[in-house]
Amino acid sequence: MRFLVRFTCAAALGLIGSAAHAQQPAGAQPAGAQPARDPVAAEALFKTARALVEKGDDAAGCPKFEASLALNPSASTMLNIARCHERAGKLATAWQGYHRALVLNRETTGEQRRRGLEELAQKGIAALEPRLPKLRVVVHGAPAGVEVQRDGTTLPAAALGEPLPADPGAHEVRASAPGHQAETRSVTLAEGETVTVELTLRPVAAGSPDKAEAKVQGASGGGVPTWAWISGAAGIALGGASIGFLVDDLSAISALRENCREVRGGTYCEPGYDFAADNARKNRDFALFVGLGGAGLVAIGAAVVGIARSGTEQEPAPARSTVALPWIAPSGAGATLVGSF
């Protein structure tokens, strides 16, 4: 019995071995079929690929099977490629490979060999059938010109609604049509399950941007009103000016303390010191510090409120806006124009 099992396995391996690359006799090739481009190179690649795969190196061996198939298509090479895909978990790709091997097997020379390869392909298909994941795509009320893509490949209209084999793992389905919002769905398939993806394309309202475009506009920060930015800038400028007057106020107080002192009957100042000028500067600077500082805090608070509300409200920004920011210094005063032109 053990001898019989070993003999059967050896016979199967022999059927998909390098002997399958023997050139077909003249006349065996059907009319219209492309001739083998380089069967000698294909044989060499096949032998190298088989040696690598037998060592467990599919990463290096399987691509060489693909190269051999390109140079000389044969059922035995396609069977090896299908098994590579099956070991990699690409069940639908492997299933398709076994079916292609059946087609290529029609050109195999020798009745016995052809039957052996057909049996191997059929066994591979039968083993994969219950494991195949399937993906069904349904478009409700499909509009004219609808296009459905599965993983970037367009599906024919007749394929919609049909459970089609797919490899296990993640897949993306996208449907689009003129005048409608495109819809994209992602789905993950497991072995043996059938998943249905249902899509509904909604018309795009006249004059309204597409959803994707609206998201981009919202993400760009364009919803913050212009006045909020200007108010914030004005608040910072006013706060800076108030600090400047505070510094000058402290400087005046320091000068008064250095040059004047309290004596009985009043205040005595050093001869030549202009007491009145520094005293007036002190009073003026303190008033400006309080006034400008308070206005700056109000402006910054308004800007914070405007920016916070922009997350939930879309306010149209004016095309042009300017604001005059006043500035006052100990040596003069003026205004600065800030805004968009």
pLDDT digits (tens, 9 = 90+) for 283-334: 887 888 788 778 878 888 887 887 877 765 544 444 444 555 555 545 554 5
Res. 23: pLDDT tops 80: no
Residue 104 corresponds to which amino acid?
L
Hey, which residues does 261 pair with through a beta bridge?
268
Q: Band of the pLDDT at 245, cuts 50, 70, 90? A: confident
Model pTM? 0.53
Res. 32: pLDDT tops 90: no
- Cα-Cα end-to-end distance for the chain: 94
Lowest mean pLDDT among 2-6, 80-84, 89-93, 156-160: 2-6
Q: Which of 182, 185, 178 is nearest to 143 (CA)?
A: 178
Residue 18 corresponds to which amino acid?
S
Q: Band of the pLDDT at 68, cuts 50, 70, 90? A: very high
Task: Please say whether the beta carbons of 113 and 100 come within 8 A.
Answer: no
How far apart, in whole angstroms, are the C-alpha atoms of residue 153 and residue 144? 19
**DSSP secondary-structure letter at 66?**
H
Mean pLDDT of the 220-224 span = 55
- H/E run at residue 173: strand 169-176
Q: What pLDDT is stored for residue 316 in this prediction?
A: 47
Annotate 109-141 with three-state secondary structure: CCHHHHHHHHHHHHHHHHHHHHHCCEEEEEEEC
Which is more confidently placed, 68 or 334? 68
CA-to-CA separations, 51 to 81, 160, 166, in angstroms, rounded: 14, 43, 30
Res. 83: pLDDT tops 50: yes
pLDDT digits (tens, 9 = 90+) for 87-139: 999 999 999 999 999 999 999 999 999 999 999 999 999 999 999 999 999 99
Name the CATH code of domain 2-21+35-130 (choices 3.90.400.10, 1.25.40.10, 2.60.40.10, 3.40.470.10). 1.25.40.10
One DSSP character per residue, 290-308 reads: HHHHHHHHHHHHHHHHHHH
Q: Band of the pLDDT at 226, cuts 50, 70, 90? A: confident
Architecture of domain 134-205: Sandwich (2.60)
CA-to-CA separations, 188 to 88, 171, 174, 192, 197, in angstroms, rounded: 17, 6, 15, 12, 11
CA-to-CA separations, 239 to 11, 295, 300, 330, in angstroms, rounded: 92, 8, 9, 16
Q: What pLDDT is stored for residue 259 in this prediction?
A: 81
The CA angle 219-223-229, to the nearest 5 degrees, is 115
pLDDT digits (tens, 9 = 90+) for 162-213: 999 999 999 999 999 999 999 999 999 999 999 999 999 999 876 555 544 4
Mean pLDDT of the 64-75 span = 94
- H/E run at residue 169: strand 169-176
Q: Which of 303, 332, 335, 324 is nearest to 244 (CA)?
A: 332
